[in-house]
Copies of this chain bind each other. A is one copy, B any other.
């Protein structure tokens, strides 16, 4: 009868209380019927369920999160949404999270640790049950927050042997080394490395590149081109011009990613530079388009779907039982095509 309990006024939303009142039972029972059906008698449960649909009840996430200190959501921070690599990683993550009833809260850090810190600050207020981070390099404050908040974290994309943390990825160093060795094996000797959007992973690929050239006895310091701007096909095209000007004797180039490699290839076509005849080109990541250009691009295929899936899996295990930290190396594979 009490009027003030009949309807939540503010939002016009149907509450648990409304459903309970409608059936003459208490709110907690409705809650149980939804969360732990086996704890409610079958007949009552049926009545509750139909009332729920009839009244159009939809749970209030904020209230649930506040009362239970869980949010059924997982924070995912990636450096970019325009990079196919991270979009694919996100698909893998969703594939695991959604069926288990979790929501992904997606944040874009734009390759900036400071931006990452800002995003983490905001999203931590959403009480995520778990956190998925890209890479191993984070600001001190981020590390502090992560340590303090007690929320499980899995790091994606790279493998770190040192720290006592969970991570799923591959050795960026090894991958850079393998593809450079491949070029050396093909007989190329004056091999350039071209990188844009400098980040910890392009740095490690560069180290792999250097190691491979050193072991082959053909390392030259001046063969690297670094630009800090975001990577793109257009940038690849202009870097081909720069490469040809600065290193006219160069016979092969390892691009830190496939966008750059595609742009270089397109520009070679424009400038009538034969690929791989005059210049061999290889990339990194095996983006979808790289199999279709002419010639198709030799590259390193990275298991990003799998990284997303396995990282999400590992995170959920960490959330449920207290599974101890583990490292998962998903490797990579050399995709030999015709550009190098």
Q: Please list the residues of chain A having a beta carbon within 8 angstroms of any beta carbon in chain B.
A: 10-13, 56, 58-63, 65-66, 69, 71, 81-82, 84, 87-88, 90-91, 94, 103, 105-106, 108, 121-122, 124-127, 148-150, 232-234, 237, 262-263, 266-267, 269-270, 288-289, 291-294
B81 and A234 form a contact (CB under 8 A)? no
**Identical copies in the complex:** 2
Question: What are the residues of chain B within 8 A of A121 when measuring CB–CB?
Answer: 58
In the bound complex, what is the Cα–Cα distance between A29 and B239 (angstroms)?
57
Question: What are the residues of chain B within 8 A of A91 when measuring CB–CB?
Answer: 81-82
A233 and B292 form a contact (CB under 8 A)? yes
Could you list some 15 contacts between A and B, CB below 8 A? Answer: A12-B148, A60-B66, A60-B125, A61-B125, A62-B62, A62-B63, A63-B66, A66-B66, A81-B81, A81-B90, A94-B108, A233-B289, A262-B289, A266-B292, A270-B294
A122 and B103 form a contact (CB under 8 A)? yes
Question: What are the residues of chain B within 8 A of A267 when measuring CB–CB?
Answer: 292
In the bound complex, what is the Cα–Cα distance between A292 and B238 (angstroms)?
11
Given contacts A81-B90, A148-B56, A150-B12, contact A62 B292 (CB under 8 A): no
A59 and B125 form a contact (CB under 8 A)? yes
Partner of A105, one of B63, B84, B105, B122: B105
Partner of A87, one of B69, B82, B105: B82
CB distance from A74 to the nearest CB of B (A): 13
In the bound complex, what is the Cα–Cα distance between A294 and B88 (angstroms)?
27
In the bound complex, what is the Cα–Cα distance between A109 and B14 (angstroms)?
26
16 other A-B residue contacts (CB within 8 Å) besides A60-B125, A82-B84, A267-B292: A11-B127, A56-B148, A60-B127, A62-B62, A62-B66, A63-B66, A81-B81, A81-B90, A81-B91, A82-B87, A105-B105, A233-B292, A234-B292, A237-B292, A269-B294, A289-B289
5 tightest Cβ-Cβ pairs between the two chains A and B: A62-B65, A61-B125, A62-B66, A62-B62, A266-B292
In the bound complex, what is the Cα–Cα distance between A122 and B61 (angstroms)?
9
A58 and B124 form a contact (CB under 8 A)? yes
Question: What are the residues of chain B within 8 A of A103 when measuring CB–CB?
Answer: 122
CB distance from A93 to the nearest CB of B (A): 11
